[in-house]
Amino acid sequence: MPIGDDTPKRGRPQTLDRDAVTKIALTRYWKDGPTRVSISQICQAANVSKPSLYREFGSDDGLRNAALDLYRQVALVPYYENMNRGIGFKNEIDALIAFMTQDRTTLGIPSGCLQVEMRSSYCDLGDATRAKVDLMRGETLETYEKWIDRAKSTGECTADISSRAAAIFCDVQNMGAMRMQREGVPNEIIVQTLKFAFSTLAR
């Protein structure tokens, strides 16, 4: 879903719109990478001053942390919902793959995954952002694990693997798909790769 226009506007507003700045920061971090966008670039795109941005967010770390919170709402929660649709394990796998490989251009959002990008840049992030990245990865793995547990309880997950290991396997598949998107691999190839990988969980 579109999350905001980062085109600079004329004139400086009297007050800082926290939500608007967070959306712009999210878009830039997602598109260009969380450590390759400066505060000055965010300020220019949002048409705000550095002092006002720092008053609101405290630091680069605070802004990235806020952007991650928004990313969770607009990207991760909808992704998680595909594992709780009650349509059967195989159909939920198809829904996950469809979500991962949806046409980003028509949706007006960048390719790839900001959570994956943040994890790749982990050592260059601030303390608050690293803590949020850890929290979000824990939530992702827990969501996968509960999904696998349910599928095992109904006999739909046939893989001889612990639920935790299966959760990590699913997370790795998503990371790989997001990397392929960034590299411009055609969606049909990514879909084929994911279907082959997930077929090991449900035969």
Binned at pLDDT 50, 70 and 90, residue 3 comes out as low
pLDDT of residue 2: 45
Q: 88-123: buried (b, 16+ CB within 10 Å) or exposed (e) per residue?
A: ebbebbbbbbeebbeeeeeeebbebbbbbbbbebee
pLDDT at 14 exceeding the cut of 60: no
pLDDT at 139 exceeding the cut of 80: yes
Q: What is d(CA 137, CA 131) in angstroms, rounded to the nearest whole number?
A: 10
Q: What is d(CA 63, CA 132) in angstroms, rounded to the nearest whole number?
A: 12
Residue 167: closest CA among 189, 139, 132: 139
Sign of CA dihedral 21, 27, 30, 35: negative
Q: Give the chain's domains with CATH numbers.
A: 18-198 (1.10.357.10)
Q: What is the mean pLDDT of residues 109-122?
A: 92
pLDDT at 4 exceeding the cut of 90: no
Mean pLDDT score across all residues of the chain: 91
**Cβ-contact 66, 86 below 8 angstroms:** no
**Cβ-contact 109, 45 below 8 angstroms:** no
pLDDT of residue 12: 47
Q: What is the mean pLDDT of residues 1-16?
A: 52
The DSSP code sequence of 148-191 is HHHHHHTT----SS-HHHHHHHHHHHHHHHHHHHHTT--HHHHH
Residue 98: closest CA among 125, 76, 79, 118: 79
Q: What is the mean pLDDT of residues 67-83?
A: 96
